[in-house]
Amino acid sequence: MTKDLIIVESPAKVKTIKKFLGSNYEVEASVGHVRDLPPRALGVDEDKDFEPLYEVIQGKQKVVNKLKSKAAKAEHVYLAPDPDREGEAIAWHVAELIKGKNDNVLRIQFNEITSRAVKEALEHPRELNRALFDSQQARRVLDRLVGYKLSPLLWKKVKRGISAGRVQSVALRLVVDREKERQAFAPQEFWTFKAQVADAEGHDFGVELARIDDKKAEVGGAAEAAALVNRVLGDPARAVAPEDLLPPESVGESAGRADADGVVVRGPGVDFVVQAVDEKERSRAPQPPFITSTLQQAASQRLGYGAKKTMSTAQRLYEGVELGDRGTVALITYMRTDSVRIADEARDAARAFITGHFGPEYYPDKPRAYKTKASAQDAHEAIRPVDVTLTPETVRPVLQRDLYSLYKLVWERFVASQMASARFWDTTVSLDAAGSVWRVKGERMLFPGFLAAMPAAGKKQTPELPKLEPDQALALRELRPEQKFTQPPPRYSEASLVRELEEKGIGRPSTYAAIISTLLDRDYATLLDKHFVPTDLGMIVCDQLVKHFPALLDVDFTATMEQSLDEVAEGQEDWVALMKKFTSDFYPTLEAAKKEMAAVKGGLETGIACELCGKPMVIKFGKAGTFLACSGYPACRNTKNFTRDAKGEIEILEKQDADPEIVGKCPDCATGDLVIKRSRTGSRFVGCNKYPECTFTAPYSTGVACPRDGCDGMLVEKSSRRGKIFYSCNRYPECDFAVWDWPVNEPCPECGSKILVRKNTRGKGEHLACPNRKCNYTRSLDEDGDGGAGEGQEQA
């Protein structure tokens, strides 16, 4: 009997879908894209309406041959890659490759990998969407033109090997512009005031200054702060001078003066009088279910996940994970979406769960529906659990930690989004003290509503207020003025950068993670305390592009281009016409930039003179990052490392006085010593101290042999581009074994793993553990004194 063939995108889906459909269907995977533009050529015929010259991706010919073979034997072929533009493009290319083998080719798509959704999709197949494919094709060709035309220019003018991209360059501009705002920022002094007051029974609570003489409280200096303190205290004998409020060299003993913590203790008879007590009920509605950008933001803020990790983890939850006796189960719907819409059956399932699990009062009077923003494509539902009855605690025993944490985030947000509002009783108390108004707000929960599904969102510390009445006098216990300064705008975190990209219409849900990865991978930015800091390379690339390609680097222009691509997807605009319109400005601008862009490969001027020869020092872009070098090279080889202060000014880092650790003689030059050094990203390596005359380097060895069977490599120290240390086989890429923790040359007594690793966690402190995820063996270092060789005990 001839079977129908279903071609999906990911191998992980094959097993899940086969379970639903039985023996009447063959299910194969394209393993992502099968055709693309050539990797080392433009691959676009600009004279033939930008015709793309596609070819089978290197290494994919075996997959393509298998798909052709299966298609030739099938009665019908159903193309089922992911339900978005990229998925439509994969389907289109697969169809082109197999069309000589089978003409009965149709497209199906589903937002969730469930038996119902897959079977329903098979009942309603459609033709391939040419407009949707053209939109993806236009984006691909557009990005190829920009990248292949701009990158060589940057190689010639700035540094070889770097790149420019249509969307990544605009994202870089956001990061650079924010850094320039910070460097130009001038802090302004201001003062805040807090007080501790108590009623006659001794119940005390804190209040904050709100107004002075019916105006918003604005205190800009120590003199104004001292004047307000004296006004509130009302005792000339205990007057406070401005210098008393500033950090003192010595502290007076008398009451009414500032102590070492900046607290002004009250004088006798100072009272605050209750001016008003306002009480009202307030409701708080839940947020809509996640879309791609809000999931990435929440995962960053609550779980510490980067955008790339969030999307890869969500992909696994979407494609299906093993749930013990249940087999492979898909847990969430498609994770690349900008729509907050949910299916009717999902809303009905949520209502049944909420009323049954929490009670009828936890469901709103009418079902909640959220409005998707006008610029959204709205092709797919919001991100939600496939089966709302699979609670996080139900699947926790069989899910890996990362999968569980993200599923819990998605599940809680979805269930909460369908629940009743939380209700609170708010109390705001206003106090008067010598014409100044002080306030405190208290909050008491009346009904948890949606917070019952996500209790972490309801944890808020509010003061417990005693019963208060107007005109009631409260004794001042202490007055605390505090000098502060305005802060520069914060650098972007991954969460805030994604939010900014979304709000400005730059990129689409499927591209946010790639944009962020590109900024880091190209060394245009680094992460400092999880916030983006542009490198000198990123700054100069951005400045050059903004100067010579103002339209391309314009945020509004990029957002308008995204809208145009959406119009192509909707069949409202021709993609070739869009390309012609874009290149009519881009090509002349590019030719002008080739002539006018200043070359900085020789180094950026710094205004710093070389202390050895007096010639100017310049910033150079090396393989290991930026450094200062004498412009008199090679006659003068003076180099220095540097950093920048808050204003962007260069600060030279002097070489450490301590001698480097010598670990042997250099095998290349035989005269130099091998010393331990650190790479720009933090890992140690061994290098010759005769550098740059001798360039020998080697990885820092842990002294532990690679435990993988058949491998004769050694585990060496490495660091990721983001600075995280790990230990991997020195035979990579032939062997890809790696662990995050320092390896110890000792077998696991439980599972037989050839090594253990040394960990340090909050709950267990320093201990040894088995790196095998399926083995739970651990041993405290106290059990054997040292627990084996630790980090640094083995030499290279």
Give residue-wise pLDDT tens across range 401-434: 999 999 999 999 999 999 999 999 999 999 999 9
When pLDDT is cut at 50, 70 and 90, the band that residue 793 belongs to is very low
Catalytic residue among 334, 407, 492, 727: 334
Q: 161: alpha, beta or left, given left = phi > 0 and alpha = psi -120 to 50?
A: left
pLDDT, tens digit, for every residue of 53-92? 999 999 999 999 999 999 999 999 999 998 888 899 999 9
Residue 690 is predicted with a pLDDT of 82
pLDDT at 657 over 90: no
Give the residue-averaged pLDDT of 591-596: 96
Query: What does the DSSP 8-state code read for residue 112?
Result: S
Higher-confidence residue: 285 or 371? 285
**E strand or H helix at 761, and its extent?**
strand 756-761
The DSSP annotation for 51-66 comes to EE--EEPTT-HHHHHH
| Residue 309 vs residues 250, 314, 498, 610, 772: alpha-carbon distances, Å | 52, 8, 14, 45, 21
When pLDDT is cut at 50, 70 and 90, the band that residue 677 belongs to is confident
When pLDDT is cut at 50, 70 and 90, the band that residue 710 belongs to is confident
- Percent of the chain residues topping a pLDDT of 90: 58
d(CA 148, CA 292): 29
d(CA 166, CA 286): 37
Select, from the ranges 223-227, 318-322, 602-606, 652-656, the one with the highest average predicted confidence (pLDDT).
223-227
Residue 378 is predicted with a pLDDT of 54
Residue 390 is predicted with a pLDDT of 96
Hey, what's the torsion of the CAs at 286, 289, 294, 298, to 10 degrees? 70
CB 648 within 8 A of CB 641: no
- Percent of the chain residues topping a pLDDT of 70: 91
Give the residue-averaged pLDDT of 569-588: 95
Checking DSSP bridges between strand 25-29 and strand 4-8, what pairing results, if any?
A: parallel
**Catalytic residue status for 334:** yes
pLDDT at 795 over 70: no
When pLDDT is cut at 50, 70 and 90, the band that residue 246 belongs to is confident
pLDDT at 784 over 50: no
Checking DSSP bridges between strand 189-198 and strand 25-29, what pairing results, if any?
A: unpaired
> What SS3 state is found at 392?
helix
Q: Which of 675, 655, 646, 645 is closest to 663 using CA atoms?
A: 675
Cis (ω within 30 of 0) for the bond into 733?
Answer: yes
Residue 720 is predicted with a pLDDT of 76
- Our separate counts of H helices and E strands in the chain read 18, 36
Q: Amino acid identity, residue 395? A: V
Give the residue-averaged pLDDT of 103-121: 92
> How far does Cα 707 stand from its chain's mean position?
33
SS3 content of the chain, % helix, strand, coil (to 5): 35, 25, 40
| Torsions phi, psi for 77 (to 5 deg) | -115, 125
Give the residue-averaged pLDDT of 744-758: 87
Q: pTM score, two decimals?
A: 0.74
d(CA 49, CA 435): 75
Higher-confidence residue: 379 or 498? 498
When pLDDT is cut at 50, 70 and 90, the band that residue 765 belongs to is low
Number of CB atoms found within 10 A of residue 369's CB = 11
Residue 267 is predicted with a pLDDT of 53
Select, from the ranges 55-59, 657-661, 786-790, the one with the highest average predicted confidence (pLDDT).
55-59
Q: CB neighbours of 404 closer than 8 A, spacing ≥ 6?
A: 392, 395, 396
d(CA 495, CA 559): 19
Residue 459 is predicted with a pLDDT of 65
Residue 487 is predicted with a pLDDT of 92
Residue 783 is predicted with a pLDDT of 41
